Structure 1
């Protein structure tokens, strides 16, 4: 576990050192990469996240063309709720903005794509998160397993190989501001 902890510290430090302009520019270029993906273009319902600790900001992708969902941390699980511009955000358990708990929930069978935040992703599709296991628990459930998942990281956090635990779930692909890589068939 100490190798993962060291990577987390290093990557968080690198993200913290991005200037506001550099972070915005990288986020905008990453959004443009996502917009070009047929996987995204054909998706009607997309699950995403609100940027935290200088994660890539993908909120510019949110338009009325698609149905959007964002997570709420409830105990050890993620619950997905509809969100659109004009809806309220509330600070969640970790200080991350979340949709209002009364907003409609999204059922897994309606989801076409999940944009997954990460500290890092590797060429095999494994991700390094913050250590809470929320996404691995979610993606290991049968109803979520077949939904395409796209790890969202800046190019400096796309690594050749990450340490992997038996419970880690690989993602379908990884997108950075420079490229998109399909990692799973």
Structure 2
């Protein structure tokens, strides 16, 4: 059953994200990247899972210039697989219109990952996120091999809310990064 409050909030916030001018979107994305680069959690991580910006999510592509090993998701049935990807590697567009690394690229396992940058529609002061409703990240983060890896939700300031409607399967994040704040829940 779809949580109607979540669905309405999701629509509202995605619309608000789309209302950003390209200049504001790029500037806010840049500020998020700069904030992340200075966080010890990011600096100490060698292998980081990220995402390709979709629906005007914060764009983290300038982080690819750092000396990190990067992994990006592929949707496979009801779960995510993670593949190494660097600029210049091949990619595809999946059924949702999202860029994915080519299936032939090396796959990453949970024990190789130091940090997960999680795309979000919104996050709240308790560390919960509002995603897109597919449950891909919540399913993955509920698994023992994944739930010990630090997670950082990536959002714009306007999407940081006091409280979100949550369901029993929602997995809290360890931190949230916006263009003006890094909120660590640990």
Same fold, judged at TM 0.5 (above): yes
Give the Cα–Cα distance (whole angstroms) in 2 for the partners of residues 18 and 166 of structure 1: 32
Q: Determine the structure 1 residue equivalent to 2:62.
A: 60
Alignment of 1:14-163 (within 5 A): 14-63=16-65, 65-163=67-165
Q: CA RMSD in A?
A: 0.7
Give the Cα–Cα distance (whole angstroms) in 1 for the partners of residues 87 and 5 of structure 2: 39
Q: How many Å apart are 1:93 and its aligned residue? A: 2.2
Q: 1:2 to 1:147 in 2, by over 3 A?
A: same
Q: How many Å apart are 1:64 and its aligned residue? A: 5.4
Q: Determine the structure 1 residue equivalent to 2:172.
A: 170
Deviation beyond 4 Å, 4+ runs, structure 1: none
Between the two proteins, the alignment pairs up a number of residues equal to 184
Check the 8 A contact 1:148/1:172 in 2, yes or no.
yes
Q: 1:64 to 1:175 in 2, by over 3 A?
A: closer
Structure 2 segments unaligned to the other structure (5+ residues): none
Check the 8 A contact 1:51/1:57 in 2, yes or no.
yes
Check the 8 A contact 1:30/1:176 in 2, yes or no.
yes
Q: Determine the structure 2 residue equivalent to 1:3.
A: 5
Structure 1 segments unaligned to the other structure (5+ residues): none
Deviations 1:19-38 (A, max 9, x none): 10000000000100100100
Give the Cα–Cα distance (whole angstroms) in 2 for the partners of residues 93 and 78 of structure 1: 14
Give the Cα–Cα distance (whole angstroms) in 1 for the partners of residues 128 and 162 of structure 2: 10
Give the Cα–Cα distance (whole angstroms) in 2 for the partners of residues 40 and 48 of structure 1: 12
TM-score, normalising length: structure 2: 0.97
TM-score, normalising length: structure 1: 0.98
Deviations 1:53-76 (A, max 9, x none): 000000110135111000000000
